[in-house]
């Protein structure tokens, strides 16, 4: 092999090595991006957070583990109801959409501190954008974990229908369950109704209609 041939061979090898290094660096950058996304998701939806209580004028309470997440549609909907001067139920809220155990227990402690034994407890969740368009004004009543007589559940279902939303029985398709399960464990012997409602985006994003739902929940 001549000197010129050896030189070309070394150049080709260096080019191949450079391509391999570029590919490896791109892979590392992709991995770093993926890990950062996972870290953000864990920090916003899996870690326990302390809850906040907003006083109301009824003997039941509405709570949500993910209603204080900045910028979320459910947070905006709840904020829009404050100062309305209407007879709204008390609210126990946190910023943990993952419903971590300690967050759920903190909500229990908050309810105990401010209300003792509420007559009913309703938990709210947002479905996000996971629903087909024909269910965009639906309220999903969770049946996987629920405490209450058929009479009071039927009253809730009828009330949802009367204000123009479509009540749908949810067998657990839309997740959730951890918070309402903890609430049932702690309040079932003293509350008439404990139930989880998953709200479609059409309910959450129309603030006037969301206020109607909240007023209904104050009249159970």
For the chain, the domain total comes to 2
Distance from CA of residue 137 to its chain's centroid? 17
Mean of per-residue pLDDT scores for the chain: 82
User: Do 59 and 132 have their domain in common?
Assistant: yes
Q: Nearest to residue 217, comparing CAs of 172, 174, 155, 166?
A: 155
Q: Tens digits of per-residue pLDDT, 168-180? A: 988 777 666 899 9
- For 16, 17, 84, 202, the CA distances from 9, given in Å and listed in that order, are 11, 12, 78, 65
- What DSSP designation does 218 have? T
Q: Tens digits of per-residue pLDDT, 88-114? A: 999 999 999 889 999 999 999 999 999
User: Do 28 and 108 have their domain in common?
Assistant: no
d(C-alpha 157, C-alpha 166), whole Å: 9
User: Do 203 and 100 have their domain in common?
Assistant: yes
Confidence at residue 40, expressed as pLDDT on a 0 to 100 scale: 41
Q: Tens digits of per-residue pLDDT, 188-201? A: 999 999 999 999 98
User: Do 59 and 25 have their domain in common?
Assistant: no
User: Do 159 and 118 have their domain in common?
Assistant: yes
Range of the domain at 138: 52-217
Q: Is the dihedral of CA 165, 169, 172, 178 positive or negative?
A: positive
Task: Identify the segments of the chain with pLDDT beneath 50.
Answer: 33-46, 133
User: Do 11 and 86 have their domain in common?
Assistant: no
């Amino acid at each position: 092999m001549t000197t010129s041939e050896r030189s070309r061979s070394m150049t080709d090898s260096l080019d191949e090595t450079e391509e391999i290094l570029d590919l490896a660096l791109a892979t590392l950058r992709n991995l770093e991006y993926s890990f950062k996304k996972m870290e953000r998701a864990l920090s916003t939806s899996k870690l326990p957070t302390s809850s906040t209580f907003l006083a109301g004028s009824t003997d039941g309470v509405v709570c949500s583990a993910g209603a204080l997440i900045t910028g979320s549609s459910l947070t905006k909907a709840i904020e829009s109801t404050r100062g309305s001067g209407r007879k709204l139920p008390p609210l126990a809220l946190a910023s943990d959409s993952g419903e971590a155990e300690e967050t759920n227990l903190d909500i229990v402690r908050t309810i105990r501190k401010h209300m003792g034994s509420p007559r009913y407890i309703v938990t709210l969740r947002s479905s996000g954008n996971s629903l087909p368009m024909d269910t965009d004004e639906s309220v999903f009543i969770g049946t996987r974990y629920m405490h209450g007589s058929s009479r009071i559940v039927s009253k809730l279902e009828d009330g949802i229908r009367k204000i123009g939303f479509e009540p749908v029985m949810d067998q657990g398709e839309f997740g959730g369950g951890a918070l309402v399960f903890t609430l049932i464990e702690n309040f079932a012997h003293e509350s008439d109704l404990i139930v989880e409602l998953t709200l479609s985006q059409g309910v959450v994003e129309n603030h006037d209609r969301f206020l109607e739902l909240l007023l209904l929940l104050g009249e159970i």
